[in-house]
Amino acid sequence: MTDLTTFIAGLPKAELHVHHVGSASPRIVAELAARHEGRSPVPADPDALVDYFAFRDFAHFIEVYLSVVDLIRDQQDVWLLTHEVARELARQQVRYAELTVTPYSHVRRGIPAPAFCEAIEDARKSAEADFGIVLRWCFDIPGEAGLPAAEETLRIALDERPDGLVSFGLGGPEIGVPRPQFKPYFDQARAAGLHSVPHAGETTGPETIWDALRHLGAERIGHGISAAADPELMRHLAEQRIVLEVCPTSNVRTRAVADLAEHPLSRLVEAGVPVTINSDDPPMFGTTLNDEYAVAARLLDLGPQGVAALAEEAVNASFLAPAEQQRLRTEIAGYLATAAG
């Protein structure tokens, strides 16, 4: 049997909670910052980004995140970012990824919605040809921008409807951004066939998750770690098989939890709540999806078989077509059998 780090590195995976801009590598962020030097606080030196990405709290994270969004100025920037994110995921043996994209943030900065969607779609197709990775989109509302952002995000989703779009989400700060106000927009997105995958219960309590379920029709929950404080909610999630997209290092880096020793992942799993392991904004948090699988293995005391089961859970929770899910599950099983031999 290969060692666990090597096993994780080669394991075929699906990534369900990773942000488009938040996945920009230091090299790409620095390149974009150099293009716009003098007009952005973001350092053009990759080494300096380590300090720049040291977050005091979630509010500071959002501030820094938006400064990186400001670097995406045109269609070429969008294509480059998307293609490079796919390259980095493919290097980690990610076969399928649902990338959370916030079109509103780019459209309001001057990139027309059709041009934005054309760029991500062209990069998606190129990435599949170049790296063998399948990308799909979750268009999410930046909650801090309120209902105008919700209306515009829905309009772009329904009017442009890029081929890769599968879901509708809600990101940004949770504190001071009640979930129920977004119900009409999620209702329309769901009526149009998009899946509901809002963030909830990361920096707020279980009631935010209940709101996402009751008002937004959530099929999966982004983060959702505060469910561990509510036994009734954990029972509901377990019984209904509603998956939490858990991102352990992210929760520490944004100060949602104090440290990994206090992370509630094991309590959620022990309660039967289905979870997937994800990287969120990996370069900003100094992590990778492979690193997150290693963290989960430590927290849950897993060997290769348990880690492979986590990878399979992500496939099961994905919005891939059933035949494609089965192909990826078969690949995971084959990899495990070979590694065990």
Active site residues: 202
Residues in a beta bridge with 16 = none
Bridge-based pairing state of the strands 195-196 and 199-200: unpaired
**What number of helices (H) and strands (E) belong to the chain?**
16, 9
User: How far apart (Å, rounded) are the C-alpha atoms in residues 198 and 23?
Assistant: 19
The tokens for 71 are 């670097």
Helices (H), 241-282: 248-253, 265-270
The 10 Å Cβ neighbour count of residue 178 is 13
Work out the widest C-alpha separation in the chain, in whole angstroms.
56
User: How far apart (Å, rounded) are the C-alpha atoms in residues 224 and 220?
Assistant: 9
| Element housing 94 (H / E) | strand 94-101
The 10 Å Cβ neighbour count of residue 260 is 14
Residue position matching structure tokens 């900065």: 109
User: How far apart (Å, rounded) are the C-alpha atoms in residues 220 and 323?
Assistant: 21
Q: Of 184, 183, 237, which Cα lies nearest the Cα of 206? A: 237
237 with 259: CB under 8 angstroms? Answer: no
| Element housing 321 (H / E) | none
Which residues 6+ apart lie within 8 Å of 126 measured at CB? 83
Residues in a beta bridge with 275 = 244
